[in-house]
Structure 1
Amino acid sequence: MDIKTASSLHRLRLISGPEGVSFLLLLVCSVLKRTTSFDAVPVMGMVHGVLFILYVLFWLDAWNRTKWSFGTAALYFILSVLPFGGFVAERRLKRAAEDAVIASRARREGVVKA
């Protein structure tokens, strides 16, 4: 894995957590808007919208660089629209990055032929 591919996966991983938190906060704000006089939906909606757009842009970049199959790319997109999906995506991306680092070190040390 080259540095640009690793960077694109890292960016996607970094935005997954905040995007997931903003989605949950937006859901909470929506419930509060309907049950109380508290209305933070416009602000939270904008924050979540910006984070979601960044997630989609980083997802497209990662898909382009990693050459994921359609199923893998679709999984990461579907995770972005599920309430706790951002956290699942972050964990999966972290695990994939760690596996790539281990494989890269093994190739460099000659343990595994490329």
Structure 2
Amino acid sequence: MTRLFRIIATLEGLSLLFLLFVAMPMKYIYKNEAYMHNAGMAHGVLFIAYIIIAYLLKEERNWSFKKYLIVAVASVIPFGTFYIEWKFLKAPENN
């Protein structure tokens, strides 16, 4: 489960960065909406997968609600999922 979460967290983080720093500037600065629909859809699906797998991981590892909430909120902050992966999943007590 942890390996799957790491993959989804990385993809979700990359999709958020692509959406914020490529697709949105293309739409609002250059008036080109070519990337918005696909980037938004991919990010939405990955976000939902991230939240569901985080919940399953919470149940598996007996995380507190506070820790789960931190993991969930990090998904809406740019670079947040990369921090969560480093902080909560790479620590020796979590492997």
Same fold (TM over 0.5): yes
User: Which of 57, 63, 71 does residue 62 from structure 1 map onto?
Assistant: 57
**Among residues 76, 79, 84, which one is paired with 2:74 in the alignment?**
79
Unaligned segments of structure 1, at least 5 residues:
1-7, 102-114
> Where does residue 23 of structure 1 map in the other structure?
16
**Alignment check: 8 A CA contact 1:14 1:90 kept:** no
- Compute the displacement of 1:53 (Å): 1.1
Size of the aligned set, in residue pairs, is 93
- Write out aligned runs for 1:94-109 (5 A): 94-96=89-91, 98-101=92-95
The CA distance in 1 between the partners of 2:61 and 2:38, in whole Å, is: 34
Following the alignment from structure 1 to structure 2, what is the Cα–Cα distance between the partners of residues 89 and 57?
15
Displacement after TM superposition at 1:93 (Å) = 3.5
Identical pairs, percent: 31
Return the offset for 1:100. Answer: 4.2
Q: Any gaps of 5 or more consecutive residues in structure 2? A: none
Deviation for aligned residue 1:60 = 1.0
- Residues 60-110 of structure 1, C-alpha deviation per residue, up to 9 Å, x if partnerless? 1001111101111111011111111011111123323x4344xxxxxxxxx
* TM-score computed with the length of structure 2 as normaliser: 0.87
> After TM superposition, which residue ranges in structure 1, 4 or more long, deviate above 3 angstroms?
98-101
Structure 1 residue 44: Cα displacement: 0.3
For 2:13 and 2:55, how far apart are their aligned partners in 1? 18
Report what 2:88 is aligned to.
93
For the residues of structure 1 that align with 2:94 and 2:68, how far apart are their CA atoms? 18
| Distance of 2:88 and 2:68 partners within structure 1 | 12
TM-score, scaled to structure 1: 0.74
Contact 1:22 1:47 in 2 (8 A): yes
